[in-house]
Amino acid sequence: MEKLKVLFATSEAVPFAKTGGLADVAGSLPKALAKLGVDARVIMPKYRSVKAGGGETAIDGVKVYLVENDDYFNRKELYGDKFGDYSDNLERFAFFSRQVLERCIKENFRPDIIHCNDWHTALIPVYLNTVYKYDPFFENTRTLFTIHNIAYQGCFQKEEFPKTGLDWALFHIHYFEFYGQMNLMKAGIVYSDAVSTVSPTYAKEILTKEYGCGLEGVLQTKKDNLYGILNGIDYGVWNPATDTKIEKRYTVETLDDKYINKEALQKELGLKVDCDIPMIGMISRLADQKGMDILARVINDILSMKVQFVLLGTGDHKYHVLLEKMAKAHQKNTSVNLRFDAVLAEKIYAASDLFLIPSRYEPCGLSQMISFKYGTVPVARKTGGLKDSISDYDLKTKQGTGFMFEEYAPEALFSAVRRALTAGQHRSAWRELVAKVMRLDFSWDVSAREYVKLYNRIRP
């Protein structure tokens, strides 16, 4: 069979532009596909943050096409500013989606698969099946549409529909129409050849009313072509053996050096320097989705125990206020850092004993995979990718890789934290657990093979 050709269409990619996990996927998965012999290429908008000259660059040898339009993309932020989303986002990403297909023709690159990601690229399968339906250039091109977070669907007012350049007949309950608005994600799901999400459990969850955000019915009609493939992480980036930002590099064989990082962070943040005090780390968007509402109700109880709590993140104003108040009340054992700080993030992964992820829902989650590599044991809710990547630890059998809770309730979260702290008192068992989680493999190699299987399933 001829070499598989895949064009990865994305609104962001590391190292050029990033607001969330999609950028990490776009910067890592195509590289892993290329290693497997796929002709993988990436296409994204040329934002102000992209410094490369011309319309093409590369990520470790993977060709990246940049779509230029200064009116649309030469802005400080990707999707919006402090006042909210940019008012012309529909025009911006409709333009980008058309340009993805035009660029294929210009470069004479006939992809077997265009791998679309989230609502920003949802118009690509639509254009391919309408405007370009009879274009022989795309005769053998199929589309995969990946949902990274179904809560963000690309909804716009009905009156804006002409900006897509499509026939009004498509503003219909079976295509774009969604409670009187137009919904790009819905149309992307309908028109793509297959749909995937970023973990097997999330693929099942979004078929339900609780997690489907109104699209569960549309997804039910697609469920024979709905797949869940767990994201991976790039160990070239996340690795305590090579991390230059932490105090002291370490491996499973030099595990004692992890605690040099703990002492260094305690000093830096003004906490008591004592390796025996369990440190709980949390790096998160401060929002209900991330479990902040249930954490808020037990944070006082957690901080009243013999622990240190280090938080990094920004988000809803109410949580900024609450956490600042907590930090004042528990100055001796709490460090609240309400900002984005990539260096501090790596120090927290390296220094902490436990990593808190109490999410209401989590499509995949990368922080648990990163924390594993740094020998930091997760305390997490059993949902989405967290359920697929963490197994509950049992002190008697020594089976498991973290501390899980199922019910979305403050008491369940508190109980999981308490179980983790109890397990930590058993020194040798804890050390075994830390060494075990550091050896886990969540590299992209495994996931990339699953994607290749899926691509081959849907190509003609």
Residue-wise DSSP of 227-239 = EE----B-TTTS-
Q: Which residue has the higher pLDDT, 228 or 20?
A: 228
| Residue 400, H or E segment | none
Reported in sequence order, the residue ranges of 216-341 that DSSP labels E, i.e. its strands, are: 226-228, 279-283, 308-312, 334-337
Nearest partner of 138 among 167, 115, 109, 118, judged by Cα:
109
Mean of pLDDT values over 422-443: 97
According to the model, what pLDDT value does residue 51 have?
Answer: 72
Distance, CA of 149 to CA of 454 (rounded, Å): 20
Distance, CA of 305 to CA of 328 (rounded, Å): 16
Mean of pLDDT values over 77-81: 92
Q: Which of 43-57, 89-103, 158-172, 327-341 has the lowest mean pLDDT?
A: 43-57
- Domains of the chain and CATH, by start: 5-232+444-458 (3.40.50.2000), 255-438 (3.40.50.2000)
Under the banding of pLDDT at 50, 70 and 90, the label for residue 208 is very high
Burial category of 174 from C-beta neighbours within 10 Å (exposed 0-12, middle 13-18, buried 19 and up): exposed
Residue 1 reports pLDDT greater than 70:
no
Distance, CA of 122 to CA of 189 (rounded, Å): 8
Q: What is the DSSP letter of 238?
A: S
Do 36 and 452 meet the contact criterion of CB atoms below 8 Å apart? yes
Q: Which of 99-108, 233-242, 262-271 has the lowest mean pLDDT?
A: 233-242
Amino acid residing at 193: D
| pLDDT one-digit tens code per residue, 31-76 | 999 999 999 999 999 999 887 656 678 889 999 999 999 999 999 8
- CA neighbours within 13 Å on the CB side: how many for 413? 24
Q: Per this entry, what is the length of the chain?
A: 460
Distance, CA of 410 to CA of 415 (rounded, Å): 9
According to the model, what pLDDT value does residue 54 have?
Answer: 60
| pLDDT one-digit tens code per residue, 245-271 | 999 999 999 999 999 999 999 999 999
Under the banding of pLDDT at 50, 70 and 90, the label for residue 385 is very high
Residue 459 reports pLDDT greater than 90:
yes
Residue 201 reports pLDDT greater than 90:
yes
Distance, CA of 91 to CA of 214 (rounded, Å): 24
Residue 329 reports pLDDT greater than 80:
yes
Its sign, for the CA torsion 60, 62, 63, 67, is: negative
According to the model, what pLDDT value does residue 83 have?
Answer: 85
According to the model, what pLDDT value does residue 82 have?
Answer: 81
Neighbours of 291 (CB within 10 A): 24
Q: What is the DSSP letter of 422?
A: H
Neighbours of 340 (CB within 10 A): 11
Radius of gyration of the chain (CA): 23
| Residue 94, H or E segment | helix 89-107
Residue 438 reports pLDDT greater than 80:
yes
Please state, in angstroms and as integers, the Cα–Cα distance from residue 403 to each residue in 7, 230, 282, following that order.
39, 20, 15
Neighbours of 448 (CB within 10 A): 23
According to the model, what pLDDT value does residue 52 have?
Answer: 60
Highest mean pLDDT pick, 8-22, 37-51, 369-383: 369-383
Q: What is the pTM of this model?
A: 0.92
According to the model, what pLDDT value does residue 317 have?
Answer: 92
User: What is the residue-averaged pLDDT of the chain?
Assistant: 95
Mean of pLDDT values over 164-185: 96
Mean of pLDDT values over 297-313: 96
- Give residues with Cβ within 8 angstroms of 390, minimum separation 6: 368, 378, 380, 401, 402, 404
Structure tokens at 112: 């077997």
Structure tokens at 102: 């035009």
Residue 2 reports pLDDT greater than 70:
yes
Strands across the sheet with 155-156, in order?
Answer: 155-156, 181-183, 177-178
Mean of pLDDT values over 201-208: 97
Percent of the chain with pLDDT over 70: 99
Distance, CA of 343 to CA of 429 (rounded, Å): 30
At residue 66, the 3 state secondary structure works out as: strand
Mean of pLDDT values over 320-333: 93
Phi, psi of 297 (to 5 degrees): -85, -15
Helix axes 444-458, 21-35, angle to 10 degrees: 80
Distance, CA of 181 to CA of 96 (rounded, Å): 21
Residue 211 reports pLDDT greater than 90:
yes
Mean of pLDDT values over 86-94: 97
Structure tokens at 23: 């950028």
